Amino acid sequence: MSTQAEGLKRRTGPDIADFYDIRSMLSDEERQVQESVGQFVDQEVIPIIGEAFDKHVFPDQLVPELGKLGVFGCNLEGYECAGLNNVVYGLVCQELERGDSGLRSFVSVQGSLCMWPIYTYGTEEQKQRWLPGMAKGELIGCFGLTEPDGGSDPGTMRTKAVRDGDDWIINGAKMWITNGTIADVAIVWADTEEGIRGFLVEKDMPGYTTRDIPRKMSLRASWTSELFFEGVRVPDSNRLPGAKGLAGPLGCLTQARYGITWGAIGAAIACYKEALEFAGYRKLFGRTLAETQTIQLRLADMARRITTAQLLSLQLGRLKDQGTMHHSQVSLAKWNNVRAALDIARDARDLLGAGGVTTDHHAIRHMLNLESVITYEGTETIHQLVIGRELTGHAAF
């Protein structure tokens, strides 16, 4: 079998993975960061990620390197964060997820779900204590919102924090928490007499335990955990004073979902390129797949959907940078881009034939990962309902 994509002729038109020349709309700094993270993914991530996925382990050797690259909380200012704009942060997510959704999830959780709330809702002391170490990847965070009884309706959470003098006593459990077992600090959302509040629960606090969820068929190169709180005593100085009510955790999720809209494009590009290359050398019925009409239709559809997703995310990033982004716009892009990526991954998997069912190819790994990405940070249905509420003024959920 030839492994050269001989059936793909040289083209002089648009870049196959940047059909509308998005690069020309980026600043030099945006392009440079994208390139350096892209190189890191090509050299350090893609060669090892299939095995990490097969073995169901997070490749933690990459964390210090990611810290040196400055990706953790890169859109925050000060506290040893890179202070870059939101388009750069999006491009970082895109490149990382071209490698694997698990790696991008790690960076999203660390930066958007843990560093961002400390930065936005925390005291100066909390920021000094946690942010510089987290920016370097020396300290790891997790974000505990979802509970076993249903993640789409976090307002009905059962985890409770009760005031006891200068402390709070937390009881309850969280489930499906990325990085839970390896985190030095958990941002835990709990119901109190005054409504939902956020607490920094540190890994050695008595009564706080964690355990990984085994047998996942998705995001296998990422730890997903359960958190348990049995009378955990947390000082009031570990409460995030700026977070009041459900708006606290939802604000964090808007940040992370924004990054996911970009990340999904990376996974889609990886699958589309793999399918295109395969179509160039797979010969059936006397011609390559690339020369076959229905295969071209499928590849053209992938290019169309990737291009649409790229334009959505870039404009979303520009809105975010100018401070006018609305959370329903993030919902639309998360729905569109993750749906596009999942459909592309499934189609690429099919186009690869039997070989596509093994992790020797990337498509099935991305496809399985994207089953989590379409569920977490608001399921596809919940994002559709958020947009419906925006259009009609009626909350149907």
Ligand X SMILES: Cc1cc2nc3c(=O)[nH]c(=O)nc-3n(C[C@H](O)[C@H](O)[C@H](O)COP(=O)(O)OP(=O)(O)OC[C@H]3O[C@@H](n4cnc5c(N)ncnc54)[C@H](O)[C@@H]3O)c2cc1C
Rounded least distance, CB 296 to ligand X, Å: 34
305-107-199 Cα angle (round to 5): 125
Nearer to ligand X among residue 159 and residue 288 (C-beta): 159
Is 377 catalytic? The answer is yes
Shortest approach of ligand X to residue 279 CB, angstroms?
31
Subset of 54-113 contacting ligand X (CB under 6 A): 109
CA separation for the pair 269, 275 (Å, rounded): 10
Residue 310 dihedral angles phi and psi, to the nearest 5°: -60, -45
Binding residue for ligand X (CB under 6 A) from 139, 177, 252, 260?
177
| Residue 32 in contact with ligand X, rule: CB under 6 A | no
Q: What is the rounded distance in angstroms from the CA atom of residue 292 to the CA atom of residue 288?
A: 7
Instruction: Give the integer Cα–Cα distance in Å for 338 and 105.
Output: 14
Q: Annotated catalytic residue: which of 95, 147, 226, 377?
A: 377
- Interaction residues for ligand X, span 335-394 (CB under 6 A): 372, 375-377, 379, 381-382
User: Using the rule CB under 6 A, which residue among 72, 79, 106, 176 binds ligand X?
Assistant: 176
CB of 185 to ligand X, least distance (A): 13
User: Which residue, 57 or 382, is less far from ligand X as judged by CB?
Assistant: 382
Are residues 333 and 265 in contact, defined by beta-carbon separation less than 8 angstroms? no
Closest CB 256 distance from ligand X, rounded Å = 9
In the three-class reduction of DSSP (H, G, I as helix; E, B as strand; rest coil), residue 257 is classed as helix
Residue nearest to ligand X (CB): 151
β pairing state of 141-144 and 185-192: parallel
Among 112, 178, 288, 307, binds ligand X (CB under 6 A): 178
Residues 109-168 touching ligand X, rule: CB under 6 A, are 109, 143-146, 150-152
CB of 148 to ligand X, least distance (A): 8
Cα distance between residue 267 and residue 125, in whole Å: 38
According to DSSP H, which parts of the chain are helical?
28-40, 46-55, 62-69, 86-99, 101-108, 116-121, 124-136, 247-281, 293-321, 327-351, 363-373, 380-392
Q: How far is the CB of 176 from ligand X (least distance, A)?
A: 4
**229/235 Cα distance (integer angstroms):** 15
Judged by beta carbon, residue 27 or residue 152, the one nearer ligand X is 152
Q: Give the Cα separation of 182 and 340 in Å (integer).
A: 32
What residue has token string 């006018």?
324
- Whole-number minimum distance, CB 323 to ligand X, in Å? 26
How many residues bind ligand X, per CB under 6 A?
21
| CA gap 149, 344 in Å, rounded | 32
For 196, counting Cβ atoms within 10 Å of its Cβ (0-12 exposed, 13-18 middle, 19+ buried), the class is buried
Which parts of 211-240 interact with ligand X (CB under 6 A)?
219, 224
Q: CB of 295: closest distance to ligand X in angstroms?
A: 32
Strand partners, 125: none
The first and second tokens of residue 90, run together, are 């999006």
In terms of CB distance, is 126 or 159 closer to ligand X? 159
Q: Please state, in angstroms and rounded to a whole number, the distance separating the CA atoms of residues 62 and 11.
A: 36
Q: Residue by residue, what is the 3-state secondary structure of 15-64?
A: ECCECCCHHHHCCHHHHHHHHHHHHHHHHHHHHHHHHHHHHCCCCCCHHH
Instruction: By CB under 6 A, name the binding residues for ligand X.
Output: 109, 143-146, 150-152, 176-178, 219, 224, 372, 375-377, 379, 381-382, 397
Catalytically annotated residues: 377
